[in-house]
Amino acid sequence: MTGPAARVEVVRATLQQISILENLLELYAEDFREFHAIEPGPDGRFVYPGLSLYWQEEGRHPFFIHVDGEPAGFALVQRGSRTAGNASAWDMAEFFILREGRRRGAGTKAAHQVFRLFPGLWEVRVMQANRAALHFWERALSQFTGKTMVAARQDRKAITWHVFSFESPTPEK
């Protein structure tokens, strides 16, 4: 799927493509089951509550991540911090790369592209139990900011989170 010269693109998802995003969310949920208790609904599918809001509410942005022209993941971005209460911060609500694209730089390239789309304060939350994601975000954010990133620990509803806060610069003109 990807190699050293892979072309990574972040593309806004349209409402007509919601079924593709729902399919990718199924894979995402299955991965999440390794460290967090989620169960499929009575129809055997995982449902992402509020997915349609990404096309209805201002401040929500759904994206596909394409690698070499093929769907390889997604990013769901929304305005407003879930932890610090800062309504103007950007929040990486969900981020997913298919297994074939992991550890090959596609996720880092895609995350950096998303951050550049929305200059300003950002927040990325990672469950402590999701060790692979924690290492990914530490590395990707350190590369993006040019400094070692240290997450703040936060316990909410019996889950320990690591919260990264950083600034995405406004592009120079």
Residue 5 has a pLDDT of 59
The residue extents of the domains of the chain are: 8-168
Domain 8-168 fold is Aminopeptidase (3.40.630)
Torsion region of 166: left, alpha or beta (phi above 0 gives left; psi -120 to 50 gives alpha): beta
pLDDT tens-digit series, residues 78-130: 999 877 778 899 999 999 999 887 777 899 999 999 999 999 999 999 998 89
Predicted confidence (pLDDT) at residue 2 exceeds the cutoff of 50: no
Residue 4 pLDDT class (50, 70, 90 cuts): low
Residue 101 has a pLDDT of 75
Residue 3 pLDDT class (50, 70, 90 cuts): very low
Predicted confidence (pLDDT) at residue 163 exceeds the cutoff of 90: yes
